[in-house]
Amino acid sequence: MTAKLTEDQRRLELSSLSAHGWAETEGGDAIVKTFEFGDFVSAFGFMTRAALWAEKMDHHPDWKNVYKTVEVTLSTHDAGGLTMKDVELARKMDALA
């Protein structure tokens, strides 16, 4: 199983992720970001690309789509918190958006 990030790892990864719009949830068990696109088709296209990656990584986002926004929460359920898998998926989603 992937290990939860240590305090030091979390501080390091969050400093770069926060520059790209990611924030820790209260308690620090997850990271969240709201992506905004030009229209619904762009938002859904992003979700389609991200879904294929998530499946390939065997790591899946919790997310909600409202029209042209996609609200993403990343956490490793098996580990009960944040792991490098969440960091990797966050970076991949930024690249796909």
Q: Which residues bind ligand H2B (CB under 6 A)?
A: 58-60, 76-78
Distance between first and last Cα of the chain: 28
Residue of closest CB approach to ligand H2B:
78
C-alpha span between 97 and 84 (Å, rounded)? 20
Nearest distance from C-beta of residue 59 to ligand H2B, angstroms = 5
Six token digits for residue 81:
């918190």
**Which CB, 25 or 39, lies closer to ligand H2B?**
25
Nearer to ligand H2B, 50 or 76 (CB): 76
Q: Give the separation between CA 14 and CA 39, rounded to whole angstroms.
A: 29
